[in-house]
């Protein structure tokens, strides 16, 4: 199966997930992140803001801010390139490209090596650390510049064991589903 075919298959799966399952899974996934060793050790958290098809990460962002951690969210600057921008509250988020929340352009840039843990979205992923994103290559370019563990968030019903990968695809360190946090092998 090609990456495009798998993305299309997962998109159909997402449409068929019940809102109750998604809400309950997302809550459990966020709890898993907040109790994970990589998150607890990190002073600086880089976390995406979930869209309708992704895990809702607002509980992670709010908890990290409440705990006094440095929090950064992605800002896509040009096709294929993103930066980690520090926010001090959810009020620093505005509607960006495609209606996705993004940090204000005035939010300061954090360097990749400043990040203590990265919370990463996916179309699908698996316990081997393989991740299929949405095709822009943003995380595949960004994550190798960090020195931190990457936590991949994926609802268990969307996990796929056979994911087509290429040499440039970034590997994840942990897979977080509603069933728990697993170190990738």
For 151-182, what is each residue's pLDDT tens digit?
Answer: 999 999 999 999 999 999 999 999 999 999 99
pLDDT at 185: 86
Among 33, 19, 21, 48, which Cα is nearest to 180's? 33
pLDDT score at 55:
97
* Model pLDDT for residues 117-131, shown as the tens digit of each residue: 999 999 999 999 999
* pLDDT recorded at residue 80: 86
- pLDDT number for residue 165: 94
Confidence band for 96, pLDDT divided at 50, 70 and 90 = confident
């Amino acid at each position: 199966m090609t990456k495009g075919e798998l993305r299309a298959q997962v998109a159909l799966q997402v449409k068929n997930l019940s809102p109750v399952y998604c809400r309950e899974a997302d809550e459990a996934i966020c709890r898993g992140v907040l109790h994970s060793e990589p998150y607890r050790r990190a002073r600086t958290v880089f976390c995406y803001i979930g869209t309708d098809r992704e895990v809702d990460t607002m509980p992670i962002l709010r908890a990290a801010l409440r705990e006094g951690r440095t929090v950064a969210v992605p800002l896509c600057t040009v096709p294929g390139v993103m930066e980690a921008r520090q926010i001090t509250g959810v009020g620093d988020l505005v509607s960006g490209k495609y209606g996705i929340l993004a940090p204000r352009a005035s939010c300061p840039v954090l360097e990749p090596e400043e990040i203590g843990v990265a919370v990463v979205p996916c179309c699908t992923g698996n316990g081997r650390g393989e991740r299929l994103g949405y095709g822009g290559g943003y995380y595949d370019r960004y994550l190798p510049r960090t020195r931190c563990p990457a936590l991949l968030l994926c609802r268990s019903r969307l996990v796929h064991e056979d994911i087509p990968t290429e040499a440039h695809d970034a590997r994840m360190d942990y897979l977080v589903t509603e069933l728990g946090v697993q170190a990738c092998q």
